[in-house]
Amino acid sequence: MSVIVPAILTNDALKAQSQINALSGLVDLAQVDFMDGQFVDTVSITADEAGQLTAPYKLEAHLMVMDPAAWLPYFQPEQWKRIYFHIEAVPEPADLISMIKQMEIEPGLAINPETPLAAIEDYTETIDNVLFMGVTPGAQGRAFHPEVLEKINEFLNQHPDHLVALDGGASKETIEQIAKVGVFNITVGSAIFGGGDVRQNLRVLQELAS
């Protein structure tokens, strides 16, 4: 069964905290997206604001930034379960993986739709989590790249014990096919927060993913 992980993407710290609060009692994990205006064109809340977020459940960070190491001091293991950073931003990520492990937080690699699996192959023995982007990163609601599902299938055939997540493009129309590939965590933003009741949106998506 796939698990829906709500994604919070905003440049307003109060809105981010409000969305976190709205998920209280509904989830065990939510993802917060961070953007620096360099790795992607858009910006999110700052590193300092990230460190001030609180939740009654675990959070994971998705760092769409050029210098993820500079963000690490703002994440504490009591609140943050996992930190994803992009292989495209850190071509030699071994040291960063070690740094995150030393923080007692799980490291994970994120990979864009056009990036080949070969880019992360050398690091699969030191990480257990890979986040596949189903859209071009930088904003919620962008068009889904269905060819990413073939890439995920190939990866899982080679590494069946790894946790695979997908971020972007998940909706009522696509979520069943995403789940069938074997994605464990399906990260969803606009389909949860884009309109209607958050609780109802989350319930419907989870039922489709089960």
Q: Name the catalytic one among 48, 161, 167, 197.
A: 167
* Residue 33 is a catalytic residue: yes
Catalytic residue among 33, 36, 48, 122: 33
Residues 112, 124: Cα–Cα separation, whole Å: 16
Buried b (16+ CB within 10 A) or exposed e, 158-183: ebeeebbbbbbbbeeebbeebbebeb
Asked if residue 109 lies in contact with residue 93, where contact means CB atoms within 8 angstroms, the answer is yes
CA–CA distance from 141 to each of 108, 138, 188 (Å)?
Answer: 23, 10, 10
Active site (catalytic) residues: 33, 167
